Each structure stands twice: as structure tokens, then as C-alpha cells.
């Protein structure tokens, strides 16, 4: 397979002097070969795919069990053939709740990170491209947000604006961008003095064109890595808010709300109530971190593992 993807300098060699992407094709194929060799990253990718499939086909996977169906006679049952991961305090099937909960727990990362990417790239690009006063102002702002213990502000904001799905996605996204902004700015600082940017500017390209067409495409790799790890971070924050009770409210099933409910039954010895939802949270975060690591190494093989 890899041999078929070897770079072919055919149509790519057409004269497009202002775009510095002439070596993109070989880099991409090399990238995939490196990524596929990374067993940890591939395992992560496989695991995450399974988790997403589980969320998408939740009705089938849960065996058409309603995650919100109360059955007080079956409350707090340990794992058995009927309930492979036991039942909660209302007799609801924990496996079904985990499967349906995956839908929320797995979307929060994607949506929040999309928000964070948009803001982070915008602020980082502006600061890095224009420099000077704009840069100083924007980076002051970025550092202020970065310096804040995010969980404190998340708790405050979510409790105040109300724990709806939309609010939680938005609030996590609105606080997760500073890292990306700093990264993008750094890339811009090192790229904006390069010859191909200079020549684009000399040819009369407007700032937004230079930013989007010439600089950003070259800054993609580290941003993708940061965004991937950001997905895990957002998922963690969402679960933490749910766990503290300020996030999504029962009876909504998310991995965090199940953990929140289960916490009260830990000392009673009902281990399945917390063990299983947390396990899925760990699996998801572990997979994403492995993928992020693999991406980083594949993009930049000389960089050592952090």
C-alpha cells in the first residue's frame, strides 16, 4: 500500500510559485507511514473508533434497553447476565447508560475543540501576523485566561448560566483556546519572515490571504496535535463538571453524571456503579492521548516524546 502512495511530482510541478506547498504530497505519505508504524497510536485510533461506533449505534449496542427505564426492584444489583455492568440506585441498566452517555461524552470534545480552534487560530494569527501593539494586547489577554485555574471559572460560569448541553459545550470551548492561540502565534512569528511569505506580500497579497493561504497551511501540524489533545482535555472537564454536580443534570446519562450518582454508593461497596463509567472515560482519554502522541511523532519524528 505504502509503495502506491509514493510521491509523484506530476501535476504538482505546475507553476504555482507563490504557494509553498510543493512538498506537501511526499510529506503526507511519509506521515501516514510513520503514523501507522506507531502501535500505541493505532491501538488508540482503533479503540476510539469502537467507542464512536458504540455511541452511534447505542440502541443496538445496549440491546434496546432504555437507559432511563426505572426498575426499583432491581436497584443496585451487581454485574450479572441480565445487567452486565450492574444497575444503579433506580435499577437502571448501567451498561445502557454508559452506551448512551458516550454520545454526550464523545461529542463534547469535538464541539468544544472546534470552538476553541476557531478562537485560538483567530487570535493567534492576528497577534503573530501583525505583531507590535496588537500582539502585546492579545497575548496579555491570552496569558490572563491561561493563568486562571480554569476549573474554578468553569464551575462558576456553568452554575450561573445553567447546565444545559449547549452552555457546557460553549463554556468549555470558550476557555480552551489560549494554548492554541499561543501555539499559532509562535508558528506565525517563525513563518512570517520566511521567503515565501515575503514574496506573497511583495506580489500584493492582502493580509488575510497571506494568513490563510500561505502561513496557516504551514502551521497545521502542531495545531492538529494540540487540538487532538484538547479533545481529551474538554472531555475531562465535562466529566469533572458532571461529577461535581454542576454540569449536566440527572437523569441525563453521561459518564460524569453516572460517576456523580455512583460516588454516593462507593462506601456501600457498589463498585460497579463507579468503576465502569470511569473505565470508559479512561479508555477514551487514553486513546485520544495515544493518537495525539502518534500524530506528533509522525509530523515531527525528531521531536522526542514529551
Binding site for other proteins (CB under 8 A): 40, 140-141, 143-144, 146-153, 155-157, 159-161, 232, 236, 239-240, 243-246, 259, 262-263, 266-267, 269, 271, 274-275, 278, 281-282, 285-286, 289-290, 293, 304-306
Closest CA to 299 of 7, 27, 20, 25: 27
Query: What's the chain's length in residues?
Result: 306
Please, what is the angle between helix 150-161 and helix 220-244, to 10°? 60
Measured from the CB atom, is 133 or 152 closer to other proteins? 152
Give the contacts of 113 (CB within 8 A, at least 6 positions apart): 173, 176, 227, 230, 231, 234
Measured from the CB atom, is 57 or 148 closer to other proteins? 148
- Contact present, 265 and 12 (Cβ < 8 Å): no
Question: What's the closest the beta carbon of residue 269 comes to other proteins, in angstroms?
Answer: 5
Question: What's the closest the beta carbon of residue 295 comes to other proteins, in angstroms?
Answer: 15
Question: What's the closest the beta carbon of residue 41 comes to other proteins, in angstroms?
Answer: 11
Q: Residue 91, by phi and psi: left (phi above 0), alpha (psi -120 to 50) or beta? A: left
| DSSP class of 57 | T
Question: What's the closest the beta carbon of residue 76 comes to other proteins, in angstroms?
Answer: 14
Pairwise CA distance, residues 20 & 217, whole Å? 9
- Contact present, 150 and 89 (Cβ < 8 Å): no
Measured from the CB atom, is 210 or 225 closer to other proteins? 225
Measured from the CB atom, is 87 or 260 closer to other proteins? 260
Question: What's the closest the beta carbon of residue 144 comes to other proteins, in angstroms?
Answer: 5
Measured from the CB atom, is 93 or 238 closer to other proteins? 238
Amino acid at each position: 500500500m505504502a509503495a502506491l502512495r509514493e510521491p509523484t511530482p506530476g501535476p504538482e510541478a505546475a507553476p504555482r510559485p507563490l504557494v509553498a506547498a510543493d512538498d506537501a504530497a511526499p510529506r503526507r505519505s511519509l506521515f501516514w507511514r510513520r503514523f501507522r508504524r506507531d502501535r500505541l497510536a493505532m491501538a488508540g485510533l482503533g479503540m476510539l473508533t469502537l467507542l464512536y461506533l458504540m455511541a452511534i449505534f447505542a440502541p443496538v449496542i445496549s440491546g434496546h434497553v432504555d437507559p432511563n427505564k426505572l426498575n426499583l426492584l432491581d436497584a443496585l444489583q451487581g454485574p450479572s447476565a441480565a445487567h452486565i455492568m450492574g444497575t444503579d440506585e433506580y435499577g437502571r441498566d448501567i451498561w445502557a447508560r454508559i452506551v448512551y452517555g458516550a454520545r454526550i461524552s464523545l461529542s463534547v470534545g469535538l464541539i468544544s475543540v472546534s470552538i476553541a480552534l476557531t478562537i485560538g487560530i483567530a487570535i493567534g494569527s492576528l497577534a503573530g501576523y501583525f505583531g507590535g501593539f496588537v500582539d502585546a494586547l492579545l497575548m496579555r489577554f491570552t496569558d490572563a485566561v491561561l493563568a486562571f485555574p480554569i476549573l474554578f471559572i468553569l464551575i462558576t460560569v456553568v452554575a450561573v448560566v445553567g447546565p444545559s448541553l449547549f452552555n457546557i459545550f460553549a463554556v468549555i470551548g470558550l476557555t480552551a483556546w489560549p494554548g492554541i492561540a499561543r501555539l499559532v502565534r509562535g508558528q506565525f512569528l517563525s513563518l512570517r519572515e520566511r521567503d515565501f511569505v515575503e514574496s506573497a506580500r511583495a506580489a500584493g497579497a492582502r493580509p488575510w490571504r497571506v494568513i490563510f493561504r500561505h502561513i496557516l497551511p504551514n502551521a497545521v501540524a502542531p495545531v492538529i496535535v494540540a487540538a487532538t489533545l484538547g479533545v481529551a482535555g474538554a472531555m475531562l472537564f465535562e466529566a469533572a463538571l458532571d461529577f461535581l454536580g454542576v454540569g449536566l443534570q440527572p437523569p441525563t446519562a453521561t459518564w460524569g453524571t453516572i460517576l456523580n450518582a455512583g460516588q454516593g454508593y462507593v462506601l456501600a461497596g457498589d463498585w460497579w456503579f463507579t468503576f465502569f463509567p470511569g473505565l470508559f472515560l479512561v479508555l477514551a482519554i487514553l486513546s485520544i492521548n495515544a493518537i495525539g502522541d502518534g500524530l506528533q511523532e509522525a509530523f515531527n519524528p525528531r521531536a522526542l516524546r514529551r
